[in-house]
Amino acid sequence: MSTAATDRELDLELTAALRGGGHRVTVPRLLVHRHVRRSHGHLTAEQVHGELAPGLPSLSPATIYATLDLLDELGFVRRLSTPGGTIVYDPRTEAHHHAICRRCGRMEDIEAPVDIRAVEAAAAKAGFRADHGELQLSGLCAACATP
């Protein structure tokens, strides 16, 4: 879906996926989907709630968490864990990797070819079936590395 997708296009896309999976179509789900898909970065559930709640005060944090996890299940976002334990949601679902600052938590997309077949093969040998793989680098971002 292009970044210039209209509300209607985004709503139709999510509606088809929800109905196809036997889920209800609700206004909060549509709003969260629109917001996250238009985002240009990694978002926490708290950020999504803080950005949407002023326009819809009845929107609860629990609804945001449940909706983001459903969007991950449906393939509209990727749920990522940071080394500090924070969960972020990435609107980019195509293969890419991440660099995460261990001090401030900043996360950046990394575009680089990485052959993870050996890791997937080792996981399969251990009885684990991977859905997807990515490389996460941790260290210090430029701002935190500067003395």
pLDDT tens for each residue of 92-116: 998 899 999 988 888 999 999 888 8
First to last CA, the chain: 42
Task: Kindly tell me if the per-residue pLDDT of 2 is higher than 50.
Answer: no
Residue 104 sits in the same domain as residue 136: yes
User: Does residue 57 share a domain with residue 35?
Assistant: yes
The strand ranges marked E within 42-140 are 78-81, 87-90, 97-101, 107-110, 136-139
18 lies in the same domain as 71: yes
Question: Two tokens at 35?
Answer: 């917001």
Does residue 53 lie within any of the structural domains? yes
Do both 69 and 26 map to the same domain?
yes
The pTM score is 0.84
Contact at 8 Å (CB) between 117 and 135? no
Residue 45 shares a structural domain with residue 106: no
Condensed to tens digits (0 to 9), the pLDDT of residues 32-70 reads: 999 999 998 899 999 999 999 999 999 999 999 999 999
Q: How many domains does the chain have?
A: 2
CA pair distance 90, 83, nearest whole angstrom: 16
